[in-house]
Chains A and B, each alone.
Chain A
Amino acid sequence: MNKANLLDRREVVAKLLADRKDAIAVGGLGASTYDIAAAGDNARNFYLWGGMGGAVMIGLGLALAQPKLPVVVITGDGEMLMGMGSLATVGLQKPANLSIIVLDNECYGETGGQTSHTESAADLVGIARACGIGDARALATLAEIEAFAPSLHDTSHGPRFASVKIDAANLERVLSSRDGTFIVNRLRGALGFDPI
């Protein structure tokens, strides 16, 4: 399964979030949430443990509610494929502060490594662009990741989409909180909103 020269997902996410400032990070169901947790717990991390296919839409709701804050959705190819229509919804709304990064290992790593559609057919970058997300690109090297990371903080020129082909190795899980009310209320608190 492992291919040479593919990026390490933890290293990719660590570089994307290294200088995150006030950015909100949404992690899609599965390994992406572990990657965000591994990069460091943060009140502005929004971890998903379910709702497969919903990560981009949660990011869109956040981005529209907080247009001055960078919102970064980091998810996997399987989760993105399930919510592919949401790329069309984002393409229509064009939230300038939303970035979507797909960590594409071309398989369903959490369930036994079954091949996903991106392995030989679906081109997520092409799909994003065809949905109206003009800034859609594939990132292939750590140098490209490093050069791309500052753009996450540009809240005037999104939405942007990036696909990163990563190594399919299953890494040790880094478990974040699984308590949704804690996760959402902690984020709301960090943004200055009181509980009801």
Chain B
Amino acid sequence: MHARADASADTTASWPQDIFAILQRFEVRQVPYVPDAGHSQLIERVLASSTMRGIPLTTEEEGVALLAGAWAGGQRGVLLMQSSGVGNCINMLSLTQIFRFPFLTLVTMRGEWGEFNPWQAPMGSTVPAVLELSGIKVLRASHPPEVREVVEAAAGQAYNACTPTAVLLSQRLIGAKVFTK
């Protein structure tokens, strides 16, 4: 379900580069992720980076705990995941309130905006509420030009104010996965 090896994602979009530049500027070091096609460009940049470490996870909740440890050790991180992964994180998200650490996650959305696969809809629909109930501030970017300022604001409040924050990258931004023509 997480796999989204897909031809629809625009591999030439510039907003993933904008995100990478912001993460660099905020001196992000650890980048745990469960792959999603919407994050593929960013993941490639991270894996090629000399200052960031891309860390593949078996499940998204690992990333929440990893970032708590990274902060305890003096490093910033960001968790990359797809909307279905938010559900996997719920109990571990309690660490964001307990440790009051600078939690930032970038969530690529499924289950909205022309979604073909109905199995993505239930979790995709509850992502904003689940995050908010878990004490995470939720911002959203739906159009390429706004990605930069939304991610900048999110990184600022997460890293400078220890306000746990999620940015939802809308399916409208990424493009619906095409299963049939």
A positions within 8 Å CB-CB of B: 24, 26, 46, 50-55, 57-66, 83, 85-86, 88-89, 92-93, 180-181, 183-184, 187-188, 191-193, 196
Contacts and interface: CB of A to CB of B under 8 A. Distances in A.
A62 B55 contact: no
Interface string B78-103: 00000000000001101100111110
What 10 pairs across the A-B complex have the smallest Cβ distances?
A61-B69, A65-B73, A85-B58, A54-B65, A180-B98, A57-B65, A58-B69, A61-B70, A65-B75, A61-B66
Residue from A55, A57, A88, A181 with most neighbouring chain B CB atoms (10 Å): A57
Contacts of B101: 184
Contact of B95 (A24, A54, A64, A193): A54
Contacts of A61: 30, 65-73, 75, 77
Contacts of A52: 91
A108 B99 CA distance: 26
B62 interface: yes
Given A59-B69, A89-B56, A92-B56, A54 B75 contact: no
Residue from B56, B72, B75, B77 with most neighbouring chain A CB atoms (10 Å): B72
Interface string B19-63: 000000000011000000000000000000000010111110111
